[in-house]
Structure 1
Amino acid sequence: MIPDIEKATEEEIQLLQEQRLRELISYTTKNSAYYKRIFRENNLQASDINTLADLTKLPTTSKEDLQRYNDDFLCVDRNKIIDYVTTSGTLGEPVTFALTDNDLNRLAYNEAISFDCAGVTTDDILQLTTTIDRRFMAGLAYFLGARELGAGIIRVGAGIPELQWDSIHKFKPTYLIVVPSFLLKLIEYAHKHGIDPNKAGVKGAICIGESLRNDDFSLNTLAVKIKKDWNIPLYSTYASTEMSTAFTECKAQQGGHHHPELIIVEILDDEEKPVSVGMPGELTITTLGVEGMPLLRFKTGDIVKAHTAKCSCERNTLRLGPVIGRKKQMIKYKGTTLYPPAMYNVLNYFNEIEAFVIEIAHNDIGTDEICIKIATQNPTDTLLQTIKDHFRAKLRVLPKIEFHDFKTLQELRFPKMSRKPVIVIDHRL
């Protein structure tokens, strides 16, 4: 099911993207109040943007722009809107996105070809272990994508390991769509109830929301712990509501593949210039084929590397490596630049840690401070010292570490209206 354009040459891909970019520019300058204003304020005409290189004539769009002018991005009449979704609001107020019938079809196409990247076929059954309600785009996308692909899907929803295992035994899914850390909960339940996960018939997990890999694509601590007890392929994905597009690993597992027919990718430095090949920068995207609320040069806030070496699958598209961190969550700590995912990797090493929250704040002299709050059933000085030693060895710095009871951390991790756990609380924002 690999689309022809994803097997095309770099030149052919560029030609298609530039054709669709011109269509997008014409569409947004006629229908988007926000982009009409941007073009007017920058003395630009639609005809000024013809090539991918011309995109740099436009200013970028930020999350703050989306929050402040949310309704101005809408390009259709309200009676054309079929579904409303909202972002999770991890770094600010949630943003509403309105989807038309065509947008839902695009979402289904995106997820179908993304599942295909991970090897899912019409013979497979996917078990969805995340919510499909609460204005959550991803759950809807997974359902629509499975339907478009012709695969079966079981909508179990979030949590409840007992119900997940009941569904696995009853319906025999071949893939799970799952947050990686929840796989550890399923493994824990299986061990307590005499279930061998490796005999369950599941042949792969499409993992969302958490990183599985180090920068060199080796498995990180979390993935190693999962595969130790459940030896199935783990496929990384990266997506967001704003993009309406996913980057999913193929069987080579060397980064999530770009769908060039759906999205234009730029990797920018702090001055909003393209980074050198292989260097990290902020992922900035332009959505193609979105009807309700298309975006031009939207800065995702995520720091990534693009990989362009030929993949062993037939796709010739660029691939995104694991998210290094969110730009706003970059920490300057004791002379070292850190992102929270590096700390996740250290903390996930310890089976004794039941939950953790990372708090970031400015101290009295304006520099960054980190406090890691940990819940464990065995809060001993020995464990605390072992965790500290591991931080020194892996990251060469030692944040403040505190033990707290599990209930207190759960209240921090699941604030009111949250759809997913909050792992980082940044008081600097």
Structure 2
Amino acid sequence: MIPEIEQAPIAEIKAFQEGKLKELLTYLNTNSEYYKRLFRQHNISINDINTLEDLATIPTTSKEDLQKYNDDFICVPKHKIIDYVTTSGTLGKPVTFALTDNDLERLAYNEAISFACAGVQQNDVLQLMTTMDRCFMAGLAYFLGVRKLGAGIIRVGNGIPELQWDSIFKFKPTYLIAVPSFLLKLIEYANLHGIDINNSGIKGAICIGESLREQDFLPNTLAEKIKKSWNIELYSTYASTEMNTAFTECEHQKGGHHHPELIIIEILNDDENPVNDGDVGELTITTIGVEAMPLLRFKTGDMVKAHYDGCECGRNTVRLGPVIGRKKQMVKYKGTTLYPPAMNNILNDFNEVENYIIEISHNTIGTDEILIKIATQVPTETLLQNIKDHFRAKLRVTPKIEFHDKKEIQQLQFPKLSRKPIMVVDKRVF
């Protein structure tokens, strides 16, 4: 189930996207109060935008713009809106996104081809381990995509390992949709209760929210820990509410594939110019086919590297490597530039670490400080020193590390109304 456009020559893909871009600009210039105002303020004639390169003449859109002018992005009358979702608000005030019936159909198509990219077929059954309520787009998208693909789905929701295993044995799913670190909790529960996980019928897991790969696509520590106990395939995905689109690994597991019929991507540097091939930059997206709230040159805040060489699966589309980090969470610490995912990978090396939270702040002279609060059943000086040594070996610096009560860290990770754990608390004032 590979869409024809994804196997087309690069030049054909580009021409296809340029046609879709012209349609989008006309639509925005007719229906979007925000973009009509933007075009007018910057004296932009949409007739002058004919190529993907011409996008550079249009100012980017930020998360702050969405927060400030949320309703101005809506392009349809209220009676056409049939669903509302909100962003998680990880780095600020949540944003509301409206969806029409056509948008939900697009969302279903996106997830269907993404699941198919990871090898899921019509005769498979997937167990959904994320929430569908609380205005969360991801759970709804997975359900719609599985339904569109024609496969079966079990909507268990997040958490509760005992319930997850009961459902696995009762309904016999072949794939799981889960946050990777939760798979470790399933493994831990299985070991405590004599469950033979490798005879459970699970072939693979579609993983969300956490990276599974290093930048060279080799498994990271988290993936290795899962695979050491559970002989299943792990497929990494990357998506966001703003994109309405997913980048999912194929069977070769060398980056998430771009769907050119759904989204235009740019990788930009700090000056908002395209980075050189192979360099890291901020993913900036333009959505195709979105009816209620399309976005033009939206800066996602995610730092990524694109890969342009052809994939063995037959797709000619760009592939995105693992997200290196959130641009706003970049830390300059003792002469080294860090992103929280690099610290996550080090902490995942230690089985003794039960949970943790990373706090970033400014010290009295205005430079960045890092404090990592760790919960463990063995709070020894030896463990503390081993973790510090590991940081020094891998990242060349050692942040401040403290042992804290597990419940205290859980309260920090799950503040009121949170839909997913918060692993980074940024206290810096810019």
Q: Is the pair's TM-score, using the shorter chain for normalization, greater than 0.5? A: yes
Q: Which residue of 2 aligns with 1:298?
A: 298
Q: After superposition, give the CA deviation of every residue in 1:360-388 in whole Å (9 maximum; x if it has no partner).
A: 00111110000000001111111111111
Which residue identity is paired with 2:24? L
Look up the match of 1:333. 333
Report the AA paired with residue 144 of structure 2: L
| 5+ residue gaps, structure 1 | none
In structure 2, C-alpha distance between the alignment counterparts of 1:95 and 1:204, rounded to whole Å: 33
Per the alignment, residue 16 of structure 2 pairs with 16
TM-score for both structures, normalised by structure 2: 0.99
* Structure 1 residue 188, shift from structure 2 partner: 0.3
Aligned 1:250-261 pairs, distance under 5 A: 250-261=250-261
User: In the alignment, what sits opposite 1:397?
Assistant: 397
Which one is further off, 237-246 or 384-393? Answer: 384-393
1:425 paired with 2:425, answer yes
1:288 aligned onto 2:303? no
The 5-angstrom pairing of residues 339-354 of structure 1 reads 339-354=339-354
- Separation in 2, partners of 1:236, 1:134: 24
CA apart distance, 1:37: 0.5
Question: 1:125 corresponds to which residue?
Answer: 125
Q: Does 1:78 align with 2:78?
A: yes
Residue identity opposite 1:363 in structure 2: N
The 5 Å alignment of 1:168-187 reads 168-187=168-187
Deviations, residues 291-313 of structure 1 (Å, cap 9, x unaligned)? 00000000000000000111000
Displacement of 1:41 in angstroms is 0.5
The whole-number CA distance in structure 2 between the counterparts of 1:310 and 1:14 is 15
Alignment partners' CA distance in 2, 1:110 and 1:133? 20
Q: How many residues align?
A: 429
* C-alpha distance in structure 2 between counterparts of 1:376 and 1:268, whole Å: 40
3-state SS in 2 of match to 1:211: coil
Question: Residues 93-126 of structure 1: CA distance to partner in whole angstroms, max 9, x if unpaired?
Answer: 0000000000000000000000001000101000
CA distance in 2, matches of 1:197, 1:205: 13
3-state DSSP of counterpart to 2:369: strand
Say if 2:155 is the partner of 1:135. no
Q: Tell me the secondary structure at the aligned position of residue 306 of structure 1.
A: strand
Distance 2:331 2:120 in 1: 39
CA distance in 2, matches of 1:21, 1:162: 48
- Shift, 1:179, TM fit: 0.1
- For 1:177-233, what per-residue CA distance to the aligned partner results, in whole angstroms no more than 9, with x for missing partners? 000000000000000111111110100100000000101001000110000000111
**Separation in 1 of the partners of 2:178 and 2:311?**
25
Aligned residue in 2 for 1:411: 411
Displacement of 1:89 after TM fit?
0.1
Determine helix, strand or coil for the equivalent of 1:375: strand
- Letter of the 1:152 partner, please give it: G
Residues 289-344 of structure 1 show CA distances to partners (whole Å, capped at 9, x for unaligned) of: 00000000000000000001110001110000000001000000000000000000
State the partner residue of 2:319.
319
Q: Which residue of 1 aligns with 2:38?
A: 38
SS at 2:283 equivalent: strand
Deviation, structure 1 residue 76: 0.3
Rounded Cα–Cα distance in structure 2 between residues aligned with 1:167 and 1:8: 41
Runs of 4+ in 1 over 3 A off after TM superposition: none
Matched with 2:202 is 202
Do residues 157 (structure 1) and 140 (structure 2) align?
no
Name the SS of the counterpart of 2:372 in structure 1.
strand
Query: What is the aligned partner in structure 2 of residue 48 from structure 1?
Result: 48
Q: Normalising by structure 1, report the TM-score.
A: 0.99
Pairing 1:264-283 to 2, within 5 Å after superposition: 264-283=264-283
Give the secondary structure class of the aligned counterpart of 2:26: helix
Q: What's the RMSD between the two structures over aligned residues? A: 0.5
How many angstroms does 1:425 deviate by?
Answer: 0.2
